[in-house]
Chains A and B, each alone.
Chain A
């Protein structure tokens, strides 16, 4: 009789211990693992952002770097002589005197990489920039420039028609 009682109590203790272990796993261990993983992701993203920022700043001239650090604006001169001002990456973050431009850069890259890509495209191939970007302007000049850019890029085989 006493042995059966001891066995019963042993089983009861084992069941309670298992339930407590499961509770600990769900409420303590898994959230801790989650926090650790999130912390690692944040550290990865911070390192990527810092690397991209360093590269972006290294590709600016001294005046552009001063402008970016002071006002978060950088002015880029295209081959046509048109000046474009780039603000932090967002829709329509590029502007000229009389127009706004929206140019998205694909890929899961830090915003500073996207800013660098926008700057390089304006400097290296303004026509492709105008062909790709959405343009908002009250000036009708940009309608003609956009059409000319599209024609130029099609002729160079840079645009693939859907």
Chain B
């Protein structure tokens, strides 16, 4: 019998005018992952920048990785 425990919840945080919009999803739920991936790709098309902050230090993401436990997406950067 498989051990029952809390299901892992991964987070996509989009920095926006509300502070941030947090999207929680179960990485084992294919439909939820697909939905989050579509949202991620849409943000990338709009030149947002994504950081995988699951590890220290984090890394920039060019494509969606469902194994990343926490992703923070920011608007693009420019020189002042």
Contact = CB atoms under 8 A, between A and B. Distances in A.
A74 interface: no
A53 to B, nearest CB: 8
Contacts of A91: 80
B63 to A, nearest CB: 12
Nearest to B70: A59
A110 B19 contact: yes
A132 B18 CA distance: 26
B60 A124 contact: yes
A52 B20 CA distance: 7
24 contacts: A48-B18, A48-B19, A49-B19, A51-B20, A52-B15, A91-B80, A102-B79, A103-B79, A103-B80, A104-B79, A105-B76, A107-B15, A107-B75, A109-B74, A116-B72, A117-B15, A121-B60, A124-B51, A124-B57, A124-B60, A125-B60, A132-B79, A133-B80, A134-B79
Interface residues of B, number: 22
A109 B78 contact: no
Nearest to B20: A55
Closest CB pairs A-B (n = 3): A51-B19, A102-B80, A107-B75
B13 interface: yes
Please tell me the size bucket of the interface on A: 35 or more
A125 B80 CA distance: 18
Contacts of A123: 57-58
B49 A117 contact: yes
Say what secondary structure dominates the interface of chain A: helix
A68 interface: no
A123 B49 CA distance: 14
Interface string A79-96: 100000000000110000
A34 interface: no
A121 B49 contact: yes
Interface string B1-30: 000000000000101111110000000000
B75 A117 contact: yes
A108 interface: yes
